[in-house]
Chain A
Amino acid sequence: MQLRRTRRSGIRTRGAQGALAALAVVVAGIVATLAPAGRAAANTEASSRLTIFREPSTGNAGITVIHPQVDASAALGSTFNINAGYEVDIVSGATPRIFGPSSGVDAVSGATKFSDVRQEVKGGFDFIRATSGLSASYSYGWESDYKSSAISAASRSDLVDHNFTLGVGYTHNFDTVCDANNAAALGQPLNLQPLASSAHCFQSGMTDVTTHRLTIDTFEPSLTWTATPRFVVQGGTTIQILDGFQSNPYRAVLVGSQHRTPQEHMPNFRQRYAVFGRGAYALPDARASLTGGIRLYRDSWAVMAETAELNYNQYVQQNFLFTLRGRYHQQTGASFYRTSRDYQTLGPAGQYWTGDRELSPMSNFLGSAKLAYVRRPGQERSAWFSELEFSGKFETLFYHLDSADAPNYDRKVAYIGQTSFALRF
């Protein structure tokens, strides 16, 4: 019942929040456009990056994601930049189709192998002036069962001799999700059947599948303060509203003692809020800096989280930059989340059920080390670029779940390797 009240309340305020976000971006854009012109910082750059994510499992093949991406931006005059990018997620592995107990007489069967490819193209522009900036972009992502379009706009205005920067960002997503045609369920969540395959998705004339809409509005204002010649701090907030189908269409959940396995069922509406503070502190004697921040989060599904991050950046010799990163995140579970054992013995908490690790009480720690080679030829006569950077990074992500009957309990660690190359002119 609490969820239903939250949802109705959210619908009443949704229009006002969207209008407020749009108004803020428009006002900030006008401020940026009317601000005095001056020397700006348009630049030309090309960069590529390859990320490999590997999450092994003690029970199956785990998950592997290969993520190449390329981006380019070009200066058109001193105040205008255009940019474009392309990225791919090549996902493969195995995951259980049914969230249920992994042991005992009611243990669910093993994982099902899968593979998918997601691609995304994007393009945009930046209009940069001495004390302000305005940017806009569009991206389109597609995979066999999901399509996403997003438009973004952001602005910044420098105030008080560049000592403060006011930033506003807004993004609107128009997403489409493929799902099994559950018309026969007659609106009864326990009768919903999961999607068996994406083979017929987004094809006309197919009666076994259907599509759902998901819209996402994200509004993020921030204020940055240059506190001292060696310290910058930023505070801000994030408001995100999601409206539409948010379940994993393939996933089923074992619910109740009668062995029913309906499709995962989540509320269609979600409001998410976060406040954050970040800072960067220079250590000139050591040719180093400390950066980091904290974030507090809660949403209308009763997920509450705290995240803290600290980075140490150190120049080594003339051309190397070494970075150490530590990040800790902990969260509570959604109000309708239960362990697989509790879903079976106690039944669902209301009309919703999920087998998503993101919605379970959990914590994780990310440790990272990165080494970058940075070359800046400066005033050398032969220089045809301003900066060249080649970097390699390795990260380990440790998960901590509070129950052996939590989703993906068999995956306790993930490894991320990343390499990049960038050339700036």
Chain B
Amino acid sequence: MPSPFTFKRALLLALAFGLFTTGCATATAGASWTVKPHQRELLADKIMNLDGDPQERAADQHMLANREGAIGGSGTSGGGCGCN
């Protein structure tokens, strides 16, 4: 049974994400806090794209939006009633 959502749990999740972010940034930080253009080789690779393939993302969100009560606000149109 899903555990109830509480503000404490939300806070813990946010804290965990913040620690993860800070930890990754600290572990890999260079001398400067800004990343120069010549340092972006890795970032330019498609596996670093947060959105992935737009078409695949749209298909995934369309499928999940019909099966969960929470959505990410991607502006998926349509809906209908047959998918439930």
Contacts and interface: CB of A to CB of B under 8 A. Distances in A.
Report whether chain A binds chain B. yes
Nearest to B35: A226
Interface string A137-154: 001110101101110100
> Chain B at the A interface: mostly helix, strand, loop or mixed?
loop
Contacts of B83: 63, 65, 89, 91
B70 A224 contact: no
A175 to B, nearest CB: 7
Contacts of A416: 63
Nearest to B73: A238
Nearest to A362: B2
B70 A231 contact: no
B30 A278 contact: no
A160 interface: yes
A288 B48 CA distance: 9
Interface stretch (A22-30, A324-332, A342-350): A324-332
Contacts, number: 238
Contact of A358 (B52, B69, B75, B78): B69
A182 interface: no
Interface string B70-81: 111111011111
A361 B48 contact: no
A150 B36 CA distance: 39
B42 A402 contact: no
Interface string B16-46: 1100110011001110001111011111011
Contacts of B62: 67
A67 B78 CA distance: 14
> Chain A at the B interface: mostly helix, strand, loop or mixed?
strand
B43 A356 contact: no
Interface in A140-174: 140-141, 143, 145-146, 148-150, 152, 160-163, 169, 171, 173
Interface in A251-267: 251
A150 B75 contact: yes
Interface stretch (A9-17, A102-110, A185-193, A302-310): A302-310
Contact of B81 (A146, A295, A307): A146
Contacts of A294: 13, 16-17
Contact of B70 (A120, A248, A288, A329): A329
5 contacts: A118-B82, A169-B73, A227-B29, A231-B24, A291-B48
Interface of A: 47, 49, 51, 53, 63, 65, 67, 69, 71, 85, 89, 91, 95, 114, 116, 118, 120, 139-141, 143, 145-146, 148-150, 152, 160-163, 169, 171, 173, 175, 218-220, 224, 226-234, 238-240, 248-251, 272, 274, 276-282, 284, 288-289, 291, 293-299, 303-308, 313, 315, 321, 329-332, 334, 356-359, 361-364, 374, 393, 397, 400, 402, 408, 414, 416, 418, 420, 422
Interface of B: 1-5, 9-10, 13-14, 16-17, 20-21, 24-25, 28-30, 34-37, 39-43, 45-50, 52-53, 55-56, 58-59, 62-63, 66-75, 77-84
